[in-house]
Amino acid sequence: MSERDRHEQLGISQAGVTEPSEEPEAIPEETPRAGHAARTRSAASRAAATCHYIEQHSSDGKHEGEAAGKEIAWKAAYAARVSAQSVAVLSASTPVPAADSRCARNAAASAAQAAQMGQLHDGAGELAVAAYQAALKASRAAAEAAGTGALGEDETLNAKADEAEAAAVAAAEEAGWMQPGQPVPQVSTGIRSPELMSMLHL
């Protein structure tokens, strides 16, 4: 599968991510940044959509106690915000495969946390469990692509991460956390914490 095909596989709405006001420079389709950016935005959109789903269905009574429901919603919102911060960091930075892949890694990790909250919200249903497992696989694949031996430049690992992200999107749609082609709500990036910047090594 070509880089172009893989990037198109990840072509979900990016409306759910608040980015810097300045338009980033166009990214050539065949550069490593194009793939990392597509995965970063895709994961951030998954996190935002899952957070919105939880908020919209918070009164369904699927979990025990009001406190538990609030904690699930808070953790999902936090995950969505951190993944949006990863998009903002990538958009404002100079293209460097190692740093770009770390943004994709952190967005995918945050999306996996949001998916865990989605699964906790929905319970042990087959689709919710599958969506969470797919999100975990996407997070692991992104971490491997950003790992010490790859630093975002290993084409094989990048391809595996692209495919895992596409599968996570499909699973989230099956679970009802996302709707194909539907813009997801905007998520404020808030203030980038020192912990986030340290985690991204920027």
Helices of type H across 66-191: 66-92, 97-122, 126-145, 155-175
The model's pTM: 0.80
Spatial neighbors of 99 by CB under 8 A, at least 6 apart, are 90, 93, 152, 200, 201, 202
Domain ranges of the chain: 30-200
Task: Please name the amino acid found at residue 90.
Answer: L
pLDDT one-digit tens code per residue, 81-131: 999 999 999 988 899 999 999 999 999 999 999 999 999 999 889 999 999
pLDDT tens sequence across 143-178: 999 998 999 999 999 999 999 999 999 999 999 999
